[in-house]
Amino acid sequence: MKVLTKNELKLRSPEFLDQVRKGALFVHPTDTIYGISCDATNQESVKKIREIKGRTTNPFSIWVPSVEWIRKNCLVNKNDEEWLDKLPGPYTLILKLKNKDVVAKDVIPGIDTIGVRLPDHWFSAIVRDLDKPIITTSANKAGEPFMTSLENLDEEIKGKVQFIIYEGEKKARPSKIIDLTRGTIKER
């Protein structure tokens, strides 16, 4: 497991992206808290994150490469465009997925909606360079406090990821969930 700073990641970006494409699990910063991630199209990696978190059936959200990715792969109506205009931002938008094949089946088991994120954070450029979505779920076991610093990352999670991208302590709350399929907003 390697701990990288923002600058180290930028210098080693090709290596990092190659490892993610090959199935690496990693912890990364967001605009809110730290997340644990993998390539959202890699079924085996998604299964590993489910095992680590102890989260067997709840859907995962994804961090997408762009707003265009959302428009191409999700059902977006005129009212939803208002929320897309707020991206990047601290929101998870729940939308119907047009084509379930754009993510591994275990990302959203048994449902046709997905939570999409496009945070206002420098790591969005890394996801854009990957050119595919990544899982974005809090870096903690289900029901446990979420990671805000390297010191409170669960040891088991730390031992099962290949990279940790660290930028210091986070003091924000998780993103707001905007369910555009139901017209509801949920604070976490």
- Domain limits of the chain? 2-186
Of residues 182 and 92, the one with the higher pLDDT is 92
Whether residue 88 has a cis bond before it, omega within 30° of 0: yes
Alpha carbon 127 to chain centroid, angstroms? 10
Rounded alpha-carbon distances, angstroms, from residue 27 to 60, 78, 99, 153: 15, 35, 27, 9
CATH number of 2-186: 3.90.870.10
Retrieve residue 152's tokens. Answer: 């409170």
Average pLDDT estimate for 104-121? 94
**Calpha distance 185→92 (Å, rounded):** 10
Task: Give the position of tokens 């997340």.
Answer: 35
Residue 158 has pLDDT above 70, yes or no: yes
Give residue-wise pLDDT tens across range 9-33.
999 999 999 999 999 999 999 988 8
Residue 187 above 60 pLDDT? no
Closest Cα partner for 48 from 104, 132, 112?
Answer: 104
Whole-angstrom CA distances from 101 to 45, 69, 140 are 16, 14, 27
Instruction: Choose the weakest-confidence range: 1-5, 144-148, 160-164, 171-175.
Output: 171-175
Question: Tens of pLDDT along 77-98?
Answer: 988 999 999 999 999 999 999 9
| Predicted model pTM | 0.92
Query: Where are the strands (E) in the chain, listed by range?
Result: 2-4, 26-29, 34-37, 61-63, 74-75, 91-97, 113-117, 134-138, 163-165, 176-179, 184-186
